[in-house]
Amino acid sequence: MQTDSRPTLVIVGNGMVGYKFCEKLVENGANTQFRIVVFGEERIPAYDRVHLTEFFGRADSDDLLLAPEDWYAENGIELHLDVSVESVDREQQVVHASNNFRLEYDKLVFATGSYPFVPSIEGATLPGVFVYRTIDDLKEIEDYSRNVKSAAAIGGGLLGLEVTRALGISREEGGIETHIVHRSTHLMSRQLNADAAAILQNKVEEMDIQVHLNKQTTHITADGKTRVLHFTDGPPLAVEMVVISAGIRPRDELARASNLVCSVEGGIKVNNVLQTSDADIYAIGECASHKGTFYGLVSPGYKMAEVLAQNLTETRKRSGKPFQRFEGGDISTTLKLMGVDVAVFGEYRSEDARIDFANSDVYRQLVHRDGKFVGATVVGIWREMGKVQQAVAANQRIWFWNAWRFQWKGKLWREQNMQGVQNWSEDTVVCNCIGVKRGELSHACAAGCSTVAALSETTGAATVCGTCRPLLEELIIELPTVSSQREYSPHLLHSWKGLLGASLIGLLLVLLIYFSKPIPFSTTAQNFHHIIDALWRDNFWKQVTGYTLLGFFVFALILSLRKRWQRFSFGDFGTWRLVHALIGVGTLIFLGAHTGFRFGNNLNQILMVSFLVLNLVGTLAGGVTVLAAKQRNGAKVHRWQNWLIRAHTVLFWPLPILILFHIIAVYYF
């Protein structure tokens, strides 16, 4: 009998992060290098916990599955469902599972996730009192809710609001009176400040959901069918059903029993390559503690899964490439809670300077440091939200006019500057959960994705919380047809070759003018050189070349306003950018004719250097623009492009003053 000679990789846990890890292993070819064995405690394969409340009212949970059971077998992965790992013998490298299942491993990955935190409340195990975490939990809640008229959720965080949403679905069908009981001073106290939470609370209460704040439940008693919640102060609350959703804790009990180092606050300690205190054991997702942080969000878990899957492949080891490192997860969150948009970006809890805008429907707060965006908090609809997220990620500068407009109107940019998602920069994150950028989505469209479902399947966008789905729909509807194009980039569909050529010619002319010796004046009238000599000796030809230069300059100045003058709609942006580059080439040709490569002195020298530096930066900006358009994931290139374009603009505007003084000096001195 032949045995499998491949090393064995055991994955303990088959939640969302465990499945993502399997998916990434398959993408990296690790399923051919390892015998991969997965243990899942639940009776069904990994499913979408983020949309768990949508299971209410459904007879079949298959729609929530991330992949059918057959997917694992088709990709060479052994999946054991309804089986729990009971112990790990690190010395013998053996896992012991239920039903006396014993398996030796070479590498072991903990992806055990988290469990619902149940406070020390007497009566928490009474019939009619539930926790909310799994499909089976939700099924029990749904079955029980059919025969009750009132319910309370203990916990006003993300889970509490989600379970209240689920109960609200039953309320719409059967008239359940719903309550949220929260021990803090405001809802979502881990994410929102009091002002933002007040807006959210108003919207929640508009849905006829009663919110009870500053209520610490001491015990629950039964009075027939009624369950009575008793608090440290105030009257008790009588309902017929209670759901405890007071947060989550890392599932690290198996790791602790195996004497792996764990964090005091909870979670299995891992380093930057997700390795535990045992070199052959790793941890990812909500069970892991990285640099003292336990992430209760799926996005950091997905990033961990991607990093570890890449590091475990033999191809990476053989190629000598350095290990991928997990430097920390993005805690930005974009949600639609009970129909209300709630988002936090970047360092939203930082104590840096803040500016706020609020009314009865929305709350918006921006956090800035040294004049740059570092964080944001949003409750309610905000059309600029995607652009704000991009500004925070890029530490974009916030100018005083943006801050003034925000404080008075709640907007950062003028309406005409609000472009559709297809015009966002390539490195703008569209799907926060997976980290999918606009450039990836655009290239997927160029490759033939013509529906939201196809985009989601190809890129992973909108497969977690689904908040970005409207942006994907907008991209599908408004994106130009690019199937005939070999490469796609907004504003540069047909002019990139001309722009590249103009940039290279301009660069050569700048270098020629700068490094060439001045053309000497002719000493005789008997040669051809004497005729060319008239360009810088004859006053008429000096004026011709000089005023042509001035005309080029004025035309280029007008073109710089093309992007900002929305009424000027003739021609597309890419064409006018090419015209701008050709004007630059013409400027350099006439600059050489006007000066004979002489830099002059004082003001003339300053003007000459300014012209050359302006054109040098312009040629570099043109070249980098082409490079950015041709790259699939050019975040760094885009940053260089933005800096060069800004520098080109800054260098452009002093020239009118220098030219004016030059003209005055020529005619009056």
Whether 39 has a pLDDT exceeding 80, the answer reads: yes
Q: Tokens for 27?
A: 């993408």
What was the pLDDT predicted at 561?
59
The residue assigned the tokens 């939990």 is: 137
Of residues 317 and 82, more confidently modeled: 82
What was the pLDDT predicted at 459?
81
pLDDT (mean) for 607-624 = 83
Same domain, 582 and 664: yes
Rounded Cα distance, 262 and 255, in Å: 8
Residue 354 lies in a domain: no
Tens of pLDDT along 209-248?
899 999 999 999 999 999 999 999 999 999 999 999 888 8
Whether 353 has a pLDDT exceeding 60, the answer reads: yes
β-strand partners of 378: 343, 364
pLDDT (mean) for 182-189 = 92
Same domain, 189 and 304: no
β-strand partners of 154: 181, 244
Residue 412 lies in a domain: yes
Rounded Cα distance, 344 and 465, in Å: 14
Rounded Cα distance, 302 and 160, in Å: 24
Residue 530 lies in a domain: yes
Same domain, 223 and 313: no
For the ranges 171-185, 561-575, 621-635, the lowest mean pLDDT is seen at 561-575
What was the pLDDT predicted at 423?
65
Same domain, 262 and 239: no
Rounded Cα distance, 482 and 488, in Å: 7
What was the pLDDT predicted at 174?
57
Same domain, 79 and 145: no
CATH number for position 271: 3.50.50.60
Transcribe 304-372 into DSSP letters.
Answer: HHHHHHHHH-HHHHHHTPPPP--------EEEEETTEEEEEEESTT--SEEEEEE-SS-EEEEEEETTE
CA 74 to chain centre: 32
Residue 331 lies in a domain: no
Instruction: Rounding to the nearest 10 degrees, give the CA dihedral for residues 130, 131, 135, 139.
Output: 10
Tens of pLDDT along 604-615?
788 888 888 888
Whether 531 has a pLDDT exceeding 60, the answer reads: no
| pLDDT range class, residue 486, cuts 50, 70, 90 | very low
pLDDT (mean) for 282-293 = 94
Of residues 484 and 601, more confidently modeled: 601
Tens of pLDDT along 267-285?
999 999 999 999 999 999 9
What was the pLDDT predicted at 577?
75
What was the pLDDT predicted at 286?
94
Which residues have C-beta within 8 Å of that of residue 358, sequence separation ≥ 6? 195, 199, 364
Whether 566 has a pLDDT exceeding 50, the answer reads: no
Rounded Cα distance, 424 and 429, in Å: 9
Residue 562 lies in a domain: yes
Same domain, 430 and 442: yes
| pLDDT range class, residue 585, cuts 50, 70, 90 | confident
Whether 319 has a pLDDT exceeding 90, the answer reads: no
Buried b (16+ CB within 10 A) or exposed e, 315-352: ebeeeeeebbebeebbbbbbbebbebbbbbbbbbeeee
Same domain, 229 and 378: no
Average model confidence (pLDDT) across the chain = 81
Of residues 636 and 372, more confidently modeled: 372
Rounded Cα distance, 385 and 332, in Å: 12
Domain end call among 478, 508, 540: 478
Domain end call among 192, 215, 246: 246
Residue 488 lies in a domain: no
Count of structural domains within the chain: 4
Q: Are 387 and 369 spatial neighbours (Cβ–Cβ below 8 Å)?
A: no
Same domain, 94 and 61: yes
User: Which domain range does residue 52 map to?
Assistant: 8-115+250-319
Percentage of the chain beyond pLDDT 70 is 82
Same domain, 437 and 458: yes
Domain end call among 246, 273, 307: 246
| pLDDT range class, residue 324, cuts 50, 70, 90 | confident
Phi, psi of 101 (to 5 degrees): -80, 130
Same domain, 383 and 312: no
Tens of pLDDT along 70-88?
999 999 999 999 999 999 9
Rounded Cα distance, 205 and 181, in Å: 13
Of residues 531 and 387, more confidently modeled: 387
| pLDDT range class, residue 483, cuts 50, 70, 90 | very low
Residue 432 lies in a domain: yes
What was the pLDDT predicted at 333?
78
Residue 146 lies in a domain: yes
What was the pLDDT predicted at 80?
96
Whether 23 has a pLDDT exceeding 90, the answer reads: yes
pLDDT (mean) for 184-196 = 91
Same domain, 306 and 371: no
CATH number for position 392: 1.10.10.1100
Same domain, 133 and 98: no
